[in-house]
Amino acid sequence: MVYCTYTTNQTVKKGGVKVKNDLRELRLRRGLSQSALAQMIGICEVSYARKERGQREFSASEIAKLAQVLKLKPTAIVKIFLT
């Protein structure tokens, strides 16, 4: 079980709508639920859902884990947040 914790790691900001659509699409292409992806990157499902919706920010380390789990280069994930 993963418990919700909030860290003060460096974060990457991006408007909520684009992150929500792009990240959700990547997750679904890999056949992953929010719960499964959250567990794989070490955060709770509620926290992940808020981050996917753009209500919270992913830390740099979470972005690196997302890239690994989604089998993408970290730069591809970062582009979602910066474009």
Q: Is residue 23 a contact partner of residue 55, using CB atoms and an 8 Å limit?
A: no
Around Cβ 39, how many Cβ atoms within 10 Å?
17
pLDDT tier at 35 (50, 70, 90 boundaries)?
A: very high
Domains contained in the chain, CATH given: 14-82 (1.10.260.40)
Q: What is the pTM of this model?
A: 0.73
Would you give the DSSP letter of residue 41?
H
Query: Higher model confidence: residue 23 or residue 32?
Result: 32
Q: Encode pLDDT of 40-65 as tens digits.
A: 999 999 999 999 888 888 888 998 89
